[in-house]
Structure formats: C-alpha cells, structure tokens
Amino acid sequence: MKVIQANEFARVVKNLPKQLKVELDEAVKSIMANPLLGDAKVADLAGIRVYKFKLNKQLTLLGYEYDGETVILYLLKLGSNENFYRDLKNSLSE
C-alpha cells in the first residue's frame, strides 16, 4: 500500500518528538491493516475517514482518504478535536 502525506500533515509530524512519531506510526500501521477502521464522514467531508487514537495520553484525530482501486492512503490532517473538522474542511476546499 502506498501512503501519501499532505503538506499540512507532514508539517505537524515533522515537529513531533521521536516517541510520539513512533506512536503515530503504530496508528498509521493500524489504518494500513484495515483502511476502513476510521469513522466515515458525510456531507462536506464525504469520502474522508477519521481515526481516533491516544497520542501522549491525549485524544488525537487523524483524517485520511483511502482509494481502494489504486491502493493509496492519503494522510490529510493530524490534530486534537478542537476545530479539527472545520480546519479539515477548509484545507480540502483550498
């Protein structure tokens, strides 16, 4: 499976401490094993899935798209629940 990171996602990951990157890698591996693991969104975010997991004892959301035909996982956004969906919607409309 090919994994592609959006620029915004890559910027957030770049600033994470090494231990948190390891935890994030585990979450991404879980998604790769079962791409339908995250909650499917509707309306403006149709086609997007959000996987919730603990990162440094804090609930973190990972927004992604999965293209089953070409087997590509697009990692779109990583962040806490505060304004996550609003920011994700804004980044998709740009």
Query: What is the reported pLDDT for 19?
Result: 92
Name the amino acid, one letter, at 2: K
Distance between CA atoms of residues 82 and 90, nearest Å: 14
86 HSE (CA, 13 A, CB side)? 4
Query: What is the reported pLDDT for 83?
Result: 85
Per-residue tens of pLDDT for the chain, all 94 residues: 888 888 888 888 999 899 999 999 999 999 989 988 989 988 888 888 999 999 888 898 999 998 877 778 888 888 888 788 888 888 887 7
For the chain, which domains are there? Answer: 2-93 (3.30.2310.20)
Whose tokens are 């994994």? That residue is 3
Say whether 41 sits in a helix, a strand or coil: coil
Say whether 30 sits in a helix, a strand or coil: helix
Antiparallel, parallel or unpaired: β 39-40 and 2-5: unpaired
Q: How far is CA 74 from CA 12, 19, 28, 37, 58, in A?
A: 15, 23, 11, 14, 23
Dihedral sign computed on CA atoms, order 1, 57, 78, 52: positive
Query: What is the reported pLDDT for 23?
Result: 92
